[in-house]
Structure 1
């Protein structure tokens, strides 16, 4: 084998950098990369990257670019890159322990080089202890790994869907991309809002809209003329050429950024409809300002998140990969590659998986529903209560084969093809903890839970019926003590009790654990943020701390300055103050300030957990509890502050995930900012327009809709019940008399965070300093212990009522198959097809569900929906599991629980 330096042509000086000049043409870049790399080196790097070879074009540009970077890097530079990388990523759960061990050994060097002493060596590599020159295999490997870290990504998941460098001349923020994004955003937001009150719900997810936007862009490519003008040195044309990947992604940002302002479109009908609060003062002006301030106030905090959850390579955002993969499948140039015997292109594979799931979903969802709810163990003895409680799909779901429905498999922890394996395991472990906790609570009849269903959501009265909140309110929607004493206290099921306990725990656990576990990352980001807020400078501050190719590539474009976000935050805060001051909301301004501060405290932990692991949680329960104490007897104030409390972190984290996709696809940051703000404003008006029509539908949100349009509004019912439970009855009564032990969950979470940090990181670090001879064992233990994430485990417990093991077990099987068999044995196939398969399945389910709704469910008459009456559809609902009944019968006195007067 040649020496490594012989692969570089004599006299060649590298001139291509990660930031190519703006006038560099795409074909010139391709030609330069093809001529700059020796074929032998190209083959070596291609094999290391598990890259497929096009029969006509050879390796793609990413392989050639990384080979070029390997050729120009020195061993010393490579080791310094790997040392700095390991310092940040030693606790990274998205990297395997084997990979981190490998990086550690490479960073230590080789015998004879001096400096740091080498660690244990692989006996298969014949090192010469007397050599001063780097062994050939070592030199190649250390440069290769360092080049991936600095010039691409250490994550194979990211490399599978991204390019290693940017083409700054590719069209992005064009007139046609604005038009396509606007049209499909309006359609998606309108359809999603229209069906938001339906049960079961139906929606147009962003991947469906992303798929539909592609032919729209291609159509404009063919029909629009090349008419345009020059503005400040840039030509703006109706048709700048072929529909590009950046244009497709920019249009997708419009679609995913707009969404549906689901909190305010729940708050407004609860205020207006007569079966709820019937507050006629909530005019369209009030609705508009409330919705806009809710949508935008969180986005104003996203600028701060760039340093924590966007720029760092460690913030991988695993749930964003299918969006990028679908974009590449639609627009990536087709290559004639043979991968593990497969020659089908990524686009055709997407179409095949889409068609398969579109057809298959008819079976578990309509034709053979037992495939979806496969509670086969209860069929052995359908009326056996204990068997139904333990194995039934409506209860605990301890069933090795609970479903064959992809929609159910992905309904718990998320898509197992996308979610990291460690996250799946942590969440699944938490679900098992919750399962045994619920069994203990239920069978011990804690707080009368045995008189109710085991794992159903909602609140109930002392006869086991759904809690009728209207019986404890006056005509103005205020709580009346005498009516409460004449009716009943509210009760939770065992599933809800455990789920809410986990909700209380995760808030303090999330803060304490993240502040300790990610303290270095947070401190570095805070210093970087402080340097970034520089109002007096004309040029925007450009982050240079995070040394990865995606951040450096943004130097080709103007950055979105900090003052944009601060101005947006101030304007939206002003709108929020105007909302609560101008209309009779009974909401003090300090409530807005308090909720904003509360979200600010939790924003970084919530977003970092989501960015690192793909898991997240909501602020709604914590806001309900605190506002229920501070503003007792004001349910409407609770609803308004809850809307802000949920949307601030949700919008900020959502915009951060979109921004990360923009970083991965080299979309300029200013374009991302504009797409998110414009789409949020337009989606708000779209949803409000549809909402005006919905509010005038006859019988909306009444039981009469159950057999017609099915607009029974279960989400609004739950929203209204929560406002009464915490806002009217009050958190104090709830936490003091009804469920007093739940308040200790906050203390439990605060204690568990430092405990797990000490076991996983703090303790091993201290021991390694005290006993250096055990340092290596401490590092190994810390790596293995950090695979467990207590926050994700707690999120698994939250999933109950109505979630259970049925929604997670299937995901574990698929995740294990993909992680340990497909990815290890067929890595090239995995890299090319996995995320495309995920997107295809998701699109197939969505479109199939929509067609089933319009073809079979949506009717203007009063007849029941057509069904196929046979055993395969009837079996899941027969027996005790289908009834989801209680364990104990109501006592002879006609109610359970304490007699009046209630505490």
Structure 2
């Protein structure tokens, strides 16, 4: 049994901390840790493996921190843009960036002299707050900015190449707008103790291990080095020499000329099939979106149920020929003519990039692949279910969301506002002797987020007119308002479960009816609404890292701004380079095992369908009417689970995250799907078997091994992308042999 938790006594350290009384990280600490305790949920992970101690003397503002942070930001920003053009959506691992920053920082501390000018690069021991500062900067950069998606679509499908100046300002404004809104909501979505952000807990656990116990940290680093080196070498095989390992399917090998087998059991190449019972040995795709060793078991269970339903529904829709599905590829993101050829969108638009009804009548209405329609339906189900799910299961957590809407709060905020945010210390004032304290923001962070919002809003307004986006000013305002409301609900779900849901289809639908006939306006509306939500969640996750690591808000905010701006510029440069060298592949339906245009393809087809033809395709009585009507079903989807749990709690319906189940019903609509079985096998091994049977090992090494696997893989992918896979020029594929079928699908399923 775990030792009894004891209350902390207020001290000078507490006064300098910026945590709220009642937060998990400031309320309890284990007097002694029983390493055999089984951690049941995210809260127990936080209270057992994250330290609450703070050393206010540690300084994050060092030249060394900026030097390492800028270097890793350049690496992460470049890698993120490479991943954007992969056949499966892949994220850069923050755990890996954190450990790499520690290794570099420790090396600089050890080998650089502390005298003369060198003392600026080595001011002393590399400390925890420097490391937190670096990881926040580099993780902010290590995201592909959605504005590059707009720019990529313009280049690929409209033959428009916006000038560099307007492109950069588009990137900056769209990336920082969410920071401003998210920062102003941190009192709701960051500081309450239930907002745990489980995705950052492994990172903080690692931080504590590195800086709390030198001997133990060195032992864990040895494990990290061994796993990192092993996976680094291993990834050469599935990524280049032996790509059959991306998806090993006994069914494909037994029936290499069967189309049905390819659709159901194939999955080693983009848009090939569902990957049922395939084995994947490529960690890049196993851990591409979410590391299976970090997400809590309850959320994993919900996504697994959704995946099983996805396979059943996809096969049923295709083989019963709903929406004429058999006329089109099984998995695809493009628009098609009824005969199955790719739809030429330029033939239905006039010179102002607006859809002309007369031209549409000549060409006919476009079609989607049936599986893509299921993806749209399931996404809408999940979005609507999120609202009901949170109101049923987490209404107390959300009640405070609207408490600020009163005159007293507004008057207090106006009285205390000071735009000279750089003159303040960065400490958040903590209320004392109050039973239910309301979090108060540090004055500089409060003003900084407000200024960021205002500047981003103004620049965004200018950019939509300078780039001929066809989005009017009032559409831009609605997009921002919609994003603000969405951040509240989906931010709470992300903070509680660790899984973020996309609102892209929702805002595309709204934009389609607001700006009918304007595909370009639809893209920009989505950029300033959906992307704003994504950026707000990124900011809040990073601020949670800062909160746990005791990094002052001003330092966290500065790191995020620098990383975001640098990353955006690198995204832009790499995007242009990859489009120049891989244009034909990016325009093809399936792409390759290495490169794919699936993301700009889906973004463009959604803009055409919703932005140009919303009434003709999605309104009541039209071909895809159930796509918007699915919102109504999603609103009631969580009710049966909640009712069953209320009357029969032993059935544990509280383990079911309805929004996640709904969204995952369409999750296999794109990309490389051969990793599904391997993903859930590893998730079960980590989050159930190791956590319950070997809790000591789980607490010490689980997250370290996960980070090492991500890190070694991503460094090798970065190297191979430029060395042999054509990220900046000609690709050099491995010579064809049985394990590298360069003329078809790597798992040897039929290429359809």
Once the 2 structures are TM-superposed, how far is the Cα of residue 448 of structure 1 from its aligned partner? 0.4
Once the 2 structures are TM-superposed, how far is the Cα of residue 434 of structure 1 from its aligned partner? 2.0
Aligned match of 1:646 in 518, 527, 530?
530
Aligned match of 2:193 in 271, 290, 313?
313
Contact 1:373 1:402 survives alignment (8 Å)? yes
SS in 2 for 1:48: coil
Contact 2:371 2:669 survives alignment (8 Å)? yes
Once the 2 structures are TM-superposed, how far is the Cα of residue 304 of structure 1 from its aligned partner? 3.9
Contact 2:90 2:288 survives alignment (8 Å)? no
Distance 2:706 2:434 in 1: 30
Once the 2 structures are TM-superposed, how far is the Cα of residue 686 of structure 1 from its aligned partner? 4.2
SS in 1 for 2:292: coil
Match of residue 354 from structure 1: 228
Match of residue 410 from structure 1: 287
Match of residue 655 from structure 2: 787
Once the 2 structures are TM-superposed, how far is the Cα of residue 499 of structure 1 from its aligned partner? 0.8
Distance 1:645 1:15 in 2: 42
Once the 2 structures are TM-superposed, how far is the Cα of residue 838 of structure 1 from its aligned partner? 0.5
Match of residue 34 from structure 2: 48
Aligned match of 1:607 in 465, 468, 491?
491
With over 3 angstroms needed to count, the CA separation of the structure-2 counterparts of 1:253 and 1:569, relative to structure 1, is same
2:678 is the counterpart of 1:810: yes
Deviation string for 1:724-775 (max 9, x for gaps)? 22223335434452312223201101222444434435xx4xxxxxxxxxxx
2:135 is the counterpart of 1:259: no
2:719 is the counterpart of 1:851: yes
Aligned match of 1:242 in 125, 128, 137?
125
Distance 1:529 1:172 in 2: 35
Once the 2 structures are TM-superposed, how far is the Cα of residue 837 of structure 1 from its aligned partner? 0.4
SS in 2 for 1:660: helix
Contact 2:348 2:356 survives alignment (8 Å)? yes
With over 3 angstroms needed to count, the CA separation of the structure-2 counterparts of 1:181 and 1:467, relative to structure 1, is same
Match of residue 668 from structure 1: 552
Deviation string for 1:512-564 (max 9, x for gaps)? 2212321111113543786876322489874559999xx99x99x95655333
Contact 1:357 1:844 survives alignment (8 Å)? yes
Distance 2:482 2:53 in 1: 39
Match of residue 57 from structure 1: none
Contact 2:52 2:548 survives alignment (8 Å)? no
- State the superposition RMSD in angstroms: 4.0
Distance 1:547 1:464 in 2: 66
Once the 2 structures are TM-superposed, how far is the Cα of residue 46 of structure 1 from its aligned partner? 3.7
2:667 is the counterpart of 1:752: no
Match of residue 265 from structure 2: 391
Match of residue 617 from structure 2: 733
Once the 2 structures are TM-superposed, how far is the Cα of residue 215 of structure 1 from its aligned partner? 4.3
Match of residue 425 from structure 1: 301
Deviation string for 1:776-813 (max 9, x for gaps)? xx6x448x221111011112123121268744332322
2:157 is the counterpart of 1:276: yes
Match of residue 77 from structure 2: 189
Higher mean alpha-carbon deviation, 659-668 vs 455-464, is at 455-464
Match of residue 489 from structure 1: 365
SS in 2 for 1:298: helix
With over 3 angstroms needed to count, the CA separation of the structure-2 counterparts of 1:307 and 1:823, relative to structure 1, is same
Distance 2:572 2:243 in 1: 36
Match of residue 499 from structure 1: 375
2:6 is the counterpart of 1:20: no
Distance 1:248 1:433 in 2: 42
Contact 1:559 1:668 survives alignment (8 Å)? no
Once the 2 structures are TM-superposed, how far is the Cα of residue 684 of structure 1 from its aligned partner? 3.1
Distance 1:756 1:603 in 2: 25
Distance 1:23 1:629 in 2: 51
Distance 1:479 1:303 in 2: 38
Higher mean alpha-carbon deviation, 179-188 vs 522-531, is at 522-531
Distance 1:878 1:831 in 2: 38
Distance 1:297 1:861 in 2: 34
SS in 1 for 2:602: helix
2:105 is the counterpart of 1:217: yes
Distance 1:829 1:732 in 2: 57
Once the 2 structures are TM-superposed, how far is the Cα of residue 478 of structure 1 from its aligned partner? 3.2
Distance 1:157 1:857 in 2: 41
Contact 2:256 2:749 survives alignment (8 Å)? yes
SS in 2 for 1:291: helix
Aligned match of 1:453 in 311, 318, 329?
329
Deviation string for 1:496-521 (max 9, x for gaps)? 12111011212221112212321111
TM-score normalised by the chain length of structure 1:
0.71
Distance 2:86 2:680 in 1: 31
Distance 1:527 1:312 in 2: 14
Deviation string for 1:342-371 (max 9, x for gaps)? xx7111111111112112223333333333
How many residue pairs were aligned?
716
Distance 1:859 1:753 in 2: 44
Deviation string for 1:693-732 (max 9, x for gaps)? 678x4x6624599999987755334333332222233354
Match of residue 173 from structure 2: 293
Distance 2:747 2:242 in 1: 18
Distance 2:397 2:432 in 1: 12
Distance 1:583 1:875 in 2: 41
With over 3 angstroms needed to count, the CA separation of the structure-2 counterparts of 1:524 and 1:502, relative to structure 1, is same
Once the 2 structures are TM-superposed, how far is the Cα of residue 298 of structure 1 from its aligned partner? 0.6
Contact 1:606 1:616 survives alignment (8 Å)? yes
SS in 1 for 2:157: coil
Which ranges of structure 1 fall in alignment gaps of 5 or more residues? 9-13, 25-41, 52-93, 97-152, 229-235, 338-343, 765-777, 886-903
Match of residue 77 from structure 1: none
Larger radius of gyration between Structure 1 and Structure 2: 1
Distance 1:387 1:199 in 2: 20
Once the 2 structures are TM-superposed, how far is the Cα of residue 568 of structure 1 from its aligned partner? 2.2
Once the 2 structures are TM-superposed, how far is the Cα of residue 372 of structure 1 from its aligned partner? 2.0
2:45 is the counterpart of 1:156: yes
Once the 2 structures are TM-superposed, how far is the Cα of residue 396 of structure 1 from its aligned partner? 3.3
Distance 2:250 2:644 in 1: 41
Once the 2 structures are TM-superposed, how far is the Cα of residue 406 of structure 1 from its aligned partner? 2.7
Which ranges of structure 2 fall in alignment gaps of 5 or more residues? 18-28, 418-423
Match of residue 252 from structure 2: 378
Distance 2:571 2:631 in 1: 37
Higher mean alpha-carbon deviation, 815-824 vs 702-711, is at 702-711
Distance 2:8 2:143 in 1: 48
Aligned match of 2:705 in 831, 837, 840?
837
Contact 1:177 1:247 survives alignment (8 Å)? yes
2:503 is the counterpart of 1:622: no
Match of residue 25 from structure 2: none
With over 3 angstroms needed to count, the CA separation of the structure-2 counterparts of 1:501 and 1:492, relative to structure 1, is same
Once the 2 structures are TM-superposed, how far is the Cα of residue 860 of structure 1 from its aligned partner? 8.1
Distance 1:799 1:755 in 2: 23
Distance 1:856 1:683 in 2: 24
Distance 1:371 1:711 in 2: 17
Match of residue 701 from structure 1: 583
Once the 2 structures are TM-superposed, how far is the Cα of residue 462 of structure 1 from its aligned partner? 2.0
Higher mean alpha-carbon deviation, 349-358 vs 866-875, is at 866-875
With over 3 angstroms needed to count, the CA separation of the structure-2 counterparts of 1:363 and 1:190, relative to structure 1, is closer
Once the 2 structures are TM-superposed, how far is the Cα of residue 310 of structure 1 from its aligned partner? 1.8
Contact 2:512 2:614 survives alignment (8 Å)? yes
Distance 2:475 2:239 in 1: 45
With over 3 angstroms needed to count, the CA separation of the structure-2 counterparts of 1:367 and 1:158, relative to structure 1, is farther
Distance 1:545 1:620 in 2: 42
